Structure 1
Amino acid sequence: MTGINALFLLTGLLLFISVLASTVSARLGLPLLLLFLGVGMLAGEDGPGGIVFEDFFFASMIGQAALAVILLDGGLRTRVSSFRVALKPAAVLATWGVVGTAALLGVFATWLLDVDWRLGLLLAAIVGSTDAAAVFALLRNSGVRLNERVQATLEIESGANDPMAILLVTALVGMLLQPESASVGGFAWLLTTQLGLGAVLGLAGGWVLSRLMARLSLPEGLYALLILSGGMLVFAATNLLNGSGFLAVYLAGVVVGNRRSHATEHVLRVMDGLAWLAQAGMFVVLGMLVVPSELLDHAWESVAMAVFLMLVARPLAVAIGLWPFRYKRNELAYVSWVGLRGAVPVVLAIFPVVMGVPDSRLLFDVAFAVVLLSLLVQGATVPMAARWLKVEVPPRDEPRDKREVWVDEEAAVDLLEYRVAAGSRAEGRHPDEVADDFEGIGVRCVALVRSGHLHRLTLDTRMIPGDSVWFVAPDELAERIARVFGGTGGELSANASFFGEFVVDPSCLASDLADAYGLDIGADERVKPVGTLLEHRLGRAAVVGDRVQIGAFTLTVREMTDKGVITAIGLKCPALGLIR
């Protein structure tokens, strides 16, 4: 019993320290995942903890289970509309991007380490894919809002590129251990089964889980366990059938997350905590597995590999893969830079060690060092690079909080909370007056909280700065209502520097806009609606933040529906901007 309790104490202590370390992460500007790794390394053989941990098989099992949970949570939060914008380019990066990066880096690694070319390619394949845990965590907690094309590309790529990486590693391990059995046909069949079974079983499993979640009547705490256990069933069953469990569990999460029901909000809240637990546990275990002193034996080779990967191999593979999709140069640069490495390369580096590949410990140490450098350099610069490369868009005007009250299996009422800001259009008004601004659309005030207490609404009630006001309102009005409570006092001025001083209806004719502002456009474009003109000049699917320059004026996509229809366009007039 003493040994079991000591194990529980150690596990709880390491996770407790990891969670406390998260409070330091933002202040230091370091990725939280790097701190989790640091806690594990300090607890390990070379650290103050002095724990000798060399069970690669157990670490691999923990890593794969944790990645399944993280991918499930990432899928739950991925909107289907993201696939409209970035499915094809992300699919190219998830396949060609991994192969191209591995090929370029493999040649470099073979020359640098002076090893067999198969071993060099194996090392490159291990670190060739981006990591879902790192990408999801850093993009969603970096404090920046990227344009949808860039964010969707990175998220879908990281969620879908594991099959190709696993396939390359498996094939190269086979070539090293049993070269006589390796064949192109076997490689192609393995790729087909991995991707095909992963996609089919993932979508089917997600459909079943979403139906169960909507139809079953369970205690609230059990819905998240239903989705978690179901996701792990999909993951394990797909792996047993030689499909990609990682792809399957991600797609299952996408299906469940986009078929909202009365239990969806609760599932998301619980899964968020479970995903953080999985990340913390996985990175702490992987940190304990490494021996820092051994990393120093190959320090300069690891640095050279990381630099070549970040500045040559990944950018070239991204540029070639995304060239047909007309990404801008700054978008290509950012997608290249945020090719974050994390737990996946470390877990993949464990495979050769477990399989007994010669020099596999060298591969593990170099791969781990490359991951550390990627998290330290690329991970810490995610927000700064977004601003420098101008791929971020202003934060949405959003409610402070949002709750769903389900009144039937297929019907829900949205409760939106707003905080009254000084100088806003809401200050000094009765909440019902704000609701009347949206007359006929079902906006009603249900509560006003002042100084932490529920304030009784009377005819004389007037909102003051700091009040929290709750409305029943359709979700599509959330941003419009938020602008009433914003501190700038105007609907456009908060984002005028980015979107422009005026809002243009995309259905109005370009000729009307040209005549009003003196825009220089051709006769064939004058008969088009402004939205159509903008999309024609872009030459690709539009996202919020896309811009078209017409002379001295700038048209910017301001708002869109989930189906990709432009609903508002910003017009920036340089002369008026200077006057302001």
Structure 2
Amino acid sequence: MHSESVVQAQHLMMHLLVIFLAGTLGGRLAEKLKLPDVAVFLLIGMALGPAALSMIELPAESVLNQWILIFGACFILFHGGTITSFAVLRKVWGTVTLLATTGVVLTAIIVALAAKWIVGIPFMVALLLGAILASTDPAALVPIFQKFPVRPKVAQTVITESAFTDATGAIMTTVIMGLLMSESQVGALGIVWQFVQLAFGGLLVGIVVGAIAAFLISENDYGLLKEFSPLVIVISVLAAYLLAEQMHASGFMGVFAAGLMLGNARSLRLTVLAKEEHAMHSFMDAIGLKLRMLIFILLGSQVDFAVLRDYGAAAVLIVVVFMVIARPVTVLASLLPDRQAGWAREEVLFFFWTRETGVIAAALIGIVASTGLAEARLLSAIVFVAILATLLVQASTTPWVARKLGLLVSAQGQLDENGGKDGDK
């Protein structure tokens, strides 16, 4: 006879076995069908959840589910930071800054207005939905650009945007959620100050943690942990998030900034051996895949089909506004003012279409759902439709759009099919 705690542990282990087994098979299927794996994971979760086969039943408010969502979001943000280049940031910092600030706010407001008009929810709740959907998804974008080389300036800007908007979108969600949960009224200046405190506090913590991590794995006399780079990554993610949260700053911004510092160690005049750098990225790719499986299969298993049935049509309308109105407006407002970047027409059009929503939105809606917000079920349905639509419709056609716009490049840096030398673009 086992104790109740042992039985519960075995039950959770069985859930993990089912998720990883189904996720591995689903990943192979996605590869064969040339679909984003996260979209397939969502569908697998729906099939394995209580509404179908009942093989996975993990409540959204459970501690394990919350840990998976928070740590998964942190790890993926950290990874996004490590693949963001200071060199690219210097060239397109104006565009990235506008996309991650003005762009996030514009997207949130347009989605909020659409949601308020279509489903009649309070504006602040609708704005919470907009903030959740405002971030793009490095977990979906990075594998696409690895398989289909898009013009370097465009690809790295899109990836950099996804990393920064993940952090700022998460901060905006945190601020709005705090306002909704608080009984006291907060003025405009208070909201701005809270945003600044969350963003810059997290940035400062992340810079310090990332710099220390880079120093410890560098090739110098004090690089005591250079042979333990995977462990340093885990410690850095946990330290950046927890320290920032303890200081009432944004843990999400902290982990992104830490990853940015570690990924650009050479800019800090620190040398990381190629062997250790390879081990670091291999580890992040492997763990990132497992976390994507966990997050998206669990999210799919928690989909409320009754809510989808009741609000599915409205959710589709909101997502259409999100994809064909909010994104182009955001891109035009962010790219056109940046004369230094010199964006070409075909590049702007590519930005219109490259707008995947995924891991961070899934993690944030999972966190919101656990708070007991009255409209949480409705917001979950809309976010699920947005994730599925952007991944199945936009992510799966991104290589085709890039080819049609003449943005695919060969290994030698020449534009594919439609010709023209890529050069510095």
Structure-2 residue corresponding to 1:65? 71
Task: Return closer, same or farther for 1:69/1:83 CA change in 2, 3 Å cut-off.
Answer: same
Task: Return closer, same or farther for 1:335/1:42 CA change in 2, 3 Å cut-off.
Answer: same
Tell me which of the two structures has the higher relative contact order, counting C-alpha pairs closer than 8 angstroms and 6 or more residues apart: 2
Letter in 2 for 1:375: L
Letter in 2 for 1:186: G
Find 1:256's aligned residue among 256, 262, 277.
Answer: 262
Matched, 1:239 2:245: yes
Alpha-carbon offset, residue 283 of structure 1: 1.5
Alpha-carbon offset, residue 499 of structure 1: 4.4
Q: Which structure has the larger Rg over C-alpha atoms? A: 1
Could you tell me how far apart the structure 2 residues matched to 1:361 and 1:187 are?
Answer: 26
Deviations 1:425-464 (A, max 9, x none): xxxxxxxxxxxxxxxxxxxxxxxxxxxxxxxxxxxxxxxx
Task: Return closer, same or farther for 1:2/1:172 CA change in 2, 3 Å cut-off.
Answer: closer
Matched, 1:339 2:355: yes
Deviations 1:336-372 (A, max 9, x none): 2111111222222234433332222111221112111
Alpha-carbon offset, residue 219 of structure 1: 8.4
Larger deviation, residues 227-236 vs 73-82: 73-82
Alpha-carbon offset, residue 66 of structure 1: 0.7
Could you tell me how far apart the structure 2 residues matched to 1:347 and 1:232 are?
Answer: 17
Matched, 1:328 2:344: yes
Could you tell me how far apart the structure 1 residues matched to 2:196 and 2:215 are?
Answer: 28
Structure-1 residue corresponding to 2:287? 274
Structure-2 residue corresponding to 1:103? 109
Structure-2 residue corresponding to 1:389? 405
Alpha-carbon offset, residue 287 of structure 1: 1.9
Could you tell me how far apart the structure 1 residues matched to 2:175 and 2:206 are?
Answer: 24
Task: Return closer, same or farther for 1:115/1:384 CA change in 2, 3 Å cut-off.
Answer: same
Preserved CA contact (<8 Å) 1:206 1:253: yes
Between structures 1 and 2, the one with greater helix share: 2
Alpha-carbon offset, residue 47 of structure 1: 2.1
Mapping of residues 164-243 of structure 1, within 5 Å: 164-178=168-182, 180-214=184-218, 215-217=222-224, 220=227, 222-243=228-249
Preserved CA contact (<8 Å) 1:63 1:282: yes
Task: Return closer, same or farther for 1:497/1:188 CA change in 2, 3 Å cut-off.
Answer: closer
Aligned Cα root-mean-square deviation (Å): 2.4
Alpha-carbon offset, residue 2 of structure 1: 4.7
Could you tell me how far apart the structure 1 residues matched to 2:206 and 2:417 are?
Answer: 43
Structure-2 residue corresponding to 1:20? 25
Structure-2 residue corresponding to 1:449? none
- Over the matched positions of the two proteins, sequence identity in percent amounts to 25
Preserved CA contact (<8 Å) 1:95 1:164: yes
Q: Which runs of 5+ in 1 are unaligned?
A: 398-491, 501-544, 546-556, 565-580
Task: Return closer, same or farther for 1:240/1:134 CA change in 2, 3 Å cut-off.
Answer: farther
Structure-1 residue corresponding to 2:324? 311
Mapping of residues 106-505 of structure 1, within 5 Å: 106-140=112-146, 143-178=147-182, 180-214=184-218, 215-217=222-224, 220=227, 222-259=228-265, 260-262=271-273, 263-325=276-338, 326-396=342-412, 498-499=419-420
Alpha-carbon offset, residue 179 of structure 1: 5.8
Mapping of residues 13-92 of structure 1, within 5 Å: 13-58=18-63, 59-92=65-98
Task: Return closer, same or farther for 1:77/1:124 CA change in 2, 3 Å cut-off.
Answer: closer
SS at match of 2:177: helix
SS at match of 2:337: helix
Preserved CA contact (<8 Å) 2:205 2:254: yes
Alpha-carbon offset, residue 210 of structure 1: 0.9
Task: Return closer, same or farther for 1:79/1:167 CA change in 2, 3 Å cut-off.
Answer: closer
Could you tell me how far apart the structure 2 residues matched to 1:219 and 1:94 are?
Answer: 33
Could you tell me how far apart the structure 2 residues matched to 1:116 and 1:496 are?
Answer: 49
Alpha-carbon offset, residue 111 of structure 1: 0.7
Task: Return closer, same or farther for 1:296/1:185 CA change in 2, 3 Å cut-off.
Answer: same
Task: Return closer, same or farther for 1:361/1:251 CA change in 2, 3 Å cut-off.
Answer: same
Larger deviation, residues 206-215 vs 256-265: 256-265
Letter in 1 for 2:41: F
Alpha-carbon offset, residue 497 of structure 1: 7.5
Task: Return closer, same or farther for 1:310/1:54 CA change in 2, 3 Å cut-off.
Answer: same
Alpha-carbon offset, residue 174 of structure 1: 4.1
**TM-score, length of structure 2 as denominator length:** 0.88
Could you tell me how far apart the structure 2 residues matched to 1:138 and 1:198 are?
Answer: 29
Alpha-carbon offset, residue 290 of structure 1: 1.8
Task: Return closer, same or farther for 1:153/1:21 CA change in 2, 3 Å cut-off.
Answer: same
Q: Which runs of 5+ in 2 are unaligned?
A: 1-5, 266-270
Alpha-carbon offset, residue 331 of structure 1: 1.3
Task: Return closer, same or farther for 1:353/1:387 CA change in 2, 3 Å cut-off.
Answer: same
Preserved CA contact (<8 Å) 1:45 1:53: no
Could you tell me how far apart the structure 2 residues matched to 1:385 and 1:211 are?
Answer: 41
Could you tell me how far apart the structure 2 residues matched to 1:162 and 1:361 are?
Answer: 22
How many residue pairs get aligned? The number is 406
Preserved CA contact (<8 Å) 1:85 1:148: no
Task: Return closer, same or farther for 1:2/1:366 CA change in 2, 3 Å cut-off.
Answer: same
Mapping of residues 501-520 of structure 1, within 5 Å: none
Preserved CA contact (<8 Å) 2:407 2:416: no
Preserved CA contact (<8 Å) 1:82 1:148: no
Task: Return closer, same or farther for 1:217/1:360 CA change in 2, 3 Å cut-off.
Answer: closer
Deviations 1:535-580 (A, max 9, x none): xxxxxxxxxx2xxxxxxxxxxx2xx6xxx9xxxxxxxxxxxxxxxx
Letter in 1 for 2:279: H
Alpha-carbon offset, residue 390 of structure 1: 2.2
Task: Return closer, same or farther for 1:182/1:137 CA change in 2, 3 Å cut-off.
Answer: farther
Structure-2 residue corresponding to 1:471? none
Letter in 2 for 1:144: F
Could you tell me how far apart the structure 1 residues matched to 2:44 and 2:327 are?
Answer: 29
Alpha-carbon offset, residue 33 of structure 1: 0.8
Task: Return closer, same or farther for 1:30/1:113 CA change in 2, 3 Å cut-off.
Answer: same
Could you tell me how far apart the structure 2 residues matched to 1:200 and 1:281 are?
Answer: 30
Between structures 1 and 2, the one with greater strand share: 1
Preserved CA contact (<8 Å) 1:127 1:341: yes
Preserved CA contact (<8 Å) 1:54 1:289: yes
Could you tell me how far apart the structure 2 residues matched to 1:170 and 1:207 are?
Answer: 26
Letter in 1 for 2:118: L
Could you tell me how far apart the structure 2 residues matched to 1:334 and 1:83 are?
Answer: 19
